[in-house]
Amino acid sequence: MISTSQAGQRPDINLSRFDPLPRIMFYDDFSQGMSGWTELLGNYTGSLRTMHPGYKQFTPPMLSNLTQWDGGTHGALTGSYALKLASRPGRGSQTVSLKRMTFPRACTMQLECFFTYKPEATQLELSDSDVRSWGVVFDVQDSKHRVLPQVRYLNALDGKLQNKWQYKEQSVDFDNVGDRTVTIYHYGEENWKDIPGGHQLICYNEIPTKVNWHYFRLGFDIRTLRYTELQCNDLVLDLSGLGTLKFDAMPNLQNLFNVIPFVDSDSDRRAFLYFDSILLSGDW
């Protein structure tokens, strides 16, 4: 962890495009490698066959230099490689990645990243409605509660552009998978709500192989278990009045803090989500 206040200046020139809180938990530039990002496996007991079907579709993240069939290698926003999430082909298909960690002190945590998304470029068409959504989930537990704050940018639904930010504060019930292990698939299409003022047009290049990078920021206060703000490019939304998924604390997950991006498809093609870099910071 790096304290920007102790350093007296930003410790790396690459951080000047971010606006971190005083203590940096991690900064991942994917030109340097995977940095601990991995596939999300659903809970199971005894056999992978007991895993919830929603989790069985998830694929592992990978490093990508964004090679294209028409223009060669695109590369990341900075450097050669980005973290790539790729869903399976099929409308409604989804994939998730995560970084597993814990929080050393209850405080406001802030996630920042530079991202872009595209469907797989298998057709010479605009394809701007082929990616359904992309979003971020925090998985947090204190001494009393486990919470799953999650937001998404709904790009399209059933082939129609939506262009709006949403959040979720209700989910489905837990399922038992044996040996005191439960699972919940909270990534589904149900129970999403529009964030007030959250309509936003995000730049999408006309050519199916071209990408443009965007800035994203999301804050969550572990002390109050409430969101703070969401920012995407020049849109800033106050989320402090929104609810979130909340359950009783589980016995073995004290101080949990996982960061979980996801992407899903609204067509028969794979949906791709790329991250040039990701930064998590705190305010203590």
- Per-residue model confidence (pLDDT) at position 44: 63
Residue 209 CB neighbour total at 10 angstroms: 17
Mean of pLDDT over the chain: 90
- Per-residue model confidence (pLDDT) at position 98: 95
- Per-residue model confidence (pLDDT) at position 175: 65
**CA dist 135 to 34, 113, 154, Å?**
19, 12, 9
User: Alpha-carbon distance 49 to 55, whole Å?
Assistant: 11
**What residues does 108 pair with on adjacent strands?**
221
Contacts of 176 (CB under 8 A, 6+ apart): 182
- Per-residue model confidence (pLDDT) at position 149: 96
Look at 83-92, 94-103, 171-180, 253-262 and tell me which has the smallest mean pLDDT: 171-180
**126 near 239, Cβ under 8 Å?**
no
Note the pTM of the prediction, 2 decimals. Answer: 0.90
- Per-residue model confidence (pLDDT) at position 172: 67
57-84 average pLDDT score = 92
The tens digit of pLDDT for each residue in 227-260 reads 999 999 999 999 999 999 998 998 888 999 999 9
> What own/partner pairs with CB < 8 Å and gap ≥ 24 does 220-224 have?
220/108, 220/109, 220/110, 220/138, 220/140, 220/149, 221/107, 221/108, 221/109, 222/103, 222/106, 222/107, 222/108, 222/109, 222/140, 222/142, 222/257, 223/106, 223/107, 223/108
**245 near 160, Cβ under 8 Å?**
no
Domains and CATH numbers, the chain: 2-268 (2.60.120)
Q: Which of 38-42, 173-177, 188-192 has the highest mean pLDDT?
A: 188-192
- Per-residue model confidence (pLDDT) at position 264: 97
Band (9; pLDDT cuts 50, 70, 90): low
